[in-house]
Amino acid sequence: MTFTVAIIGRPNVGKSTLFNRLVGKRLAIVDDTPGVTRDRREGEGRLFDLDFRVIDTAGLEEGEEGSLEAGMRAQTDIALDEADVVMMLIDARAGITPLDNHFADWLRRQGKPVLLLANKCEGRAGMNGLAEAYGLGLGDPIPVSAAHGEGMDLLIEALIPFDDEFAVEEEDDEKALQLAILGRPNAGKSTLVNRLLGENRMLTGPEPGVTRDSIASDWEWEGRRIRLIDTAGLRRRAKITDKLEKLSASDAIRALDYAQVVVLLIDALIPLEKQDLTIARRVVEEGRVLVIAANKWDLVRNPDAAMRQIRERVEDGLSQAKGVYVVTMSALTGRGTEKLLPAVFEAYDRWQIRISTAALNDWLHEMVERHPPPLGHNGRRLRLRYITQVSARPPTFAIFANLPDDVPDSYVRYIQNGLRSTFKLEGVPIRINLRKRKNPYAPKK
């Protein structure tokens, strides 16, 4: 990437639609309801052969100090500071409003280069608004349609000079760890992200549901690159009736597709409810690394009893990933948060482990000798002949047997638990595929 672009404008002018258009995927939630975007969201933009960093922002509004609107405005101010060039978006169909005039005056005082984009200019309905836009004093407006992709050729012509001016050296190609923070509403996810980043990157508040989009932040911890993803709170589907909450929940689940490690943040005062375990099981079934962080631990009156309860629920509800890391902390005060990243990277390293075939087969021989498999159907003896690791992330093993369909689930769990304890795979999902070994003497078809 070469330079940074911030998309700014009043609510509901199409900023998130343009952001999605520039990054080439549906990252930001889009809806006709004003004020859907609250935090700033970043992505890697591309227009034809031009690469840049793009920031989507909340709609420009004024609000009293301490209000949600004031927090949204503060996020926009930060985006403006980071930007090399600003795109101010107006709704050409609605025409110029007093709010557009107010924020055009504000942008002129910031001293940043501004491109004025008149959105929704498809057809003739936006022509009057396009003409009015000249009166904002921000230069010639660029007619575009974010929804239909019109005007992108004009936009790239306006952006090319900034590519020459702000070009920087490319970063090294070391891939960042994809780390997502998931949990129920009001568990403290955004507070934790702010604590880890050391800045007010995410909007926070006592009311549940402040975060709507899944917001990614690039970060570095002890020389290791991290892409930290904050998500909206996840409630049971039956309790979700609001359309925007449904979109937010879908966005949070989609973040799981990109994550390698998931921190499940739980409220230590009401630890591991049914919804927490539902999220945890989904993480494990997807083959991702799971780390449980018990937040608000400073408010727990009996820590030993609370930890015992968490451990018991983890053992009962997550048998397929025994030994999951549980970190106790307070995102608000910062106490215990220093333990989270070491646990994340230790689990991540286990998730990528590779075990030699020789070591695996020596181990399998001992396991079978200690506890032979039961007889199969029709009284035939089951033989586990060979094991090999076929992939990592998560560790996946193939075991060749004479009657793979007859091996009971209980014996597969015995093998799985043995792998976990012998090769230090606690807390990592393990997959085992049973296969039938081909008979070299069987007639060829």
Q: Provide CB contacts within 8 A for 39, sequence distance 6+.
A: 58, 72, 75, 201, 202, 203, 211, 212, 213, 215, 230
Task: Give me 31's structure tokens.
Answer: 């809806």
pLDDT in tens, 340-356: 999 999 999 999 999 99
For the stretch 49-103, pLDDT in tens is 788 988 888 766 555 554 545 555 566 777 788 888 999 999 999 899 988 898 8
The pLDDT tens digits of the residues spanning 310-341 come to 999 888 888 777 889 999 999 999 999 999 99
Predicted local distance difference test score (pLDDT) of residue 445:
55
- Helix, strand or coil for residue 288? coil
C-beta of residue 279 within 8 angstroms of C-beta of residue 264 = yes
The answer, yes or no, to whether residue 33 has pLDDT greater than 50, is: no
What is the average per-residue pLDDT within 376-387?
A: 88
Handedness of CA 219, 5, 81, 180 (dihedral sign): negative
Longest dimension (CA), the chain: 89
Q: Is the pLDDT of residue 362 over 50?
A: yes
In this prediction, residue 193 carries a pLDDT of 87
Long-range contacts of 190-194 (CB under 8 A, 24+ apart): 190/230, 191/331, 191/332, 192/263, 192/265, 192/293, 192/295, 192/329, 192/331, 192/337, 193/217, 193/228, 193/230
| C-alpha radius of gyration, the chain, whole number | 27
pTM of the model: 0.62
253 burial (CB, 10 Å; 0-12 / 13-18 / 19+) is middle
The predicted model gives 162-187 an average pLDDT of 72
pLDDT band at 244 (very low <50, low <70, confident <90, very high): very low
Q: According to DSSP H, which parts of 322-435 are helical? A: 340-351, 357-370, 409-422
pLDDT at 209 over 90: no
pLDDT higher than 60, residue 22: yes
Q: Which domains does the chain have, with CATH numbers?
A: 4-165 (3.40.50.300), 177-351 (3.40.50.300), 357-436 (3.30.300.20)
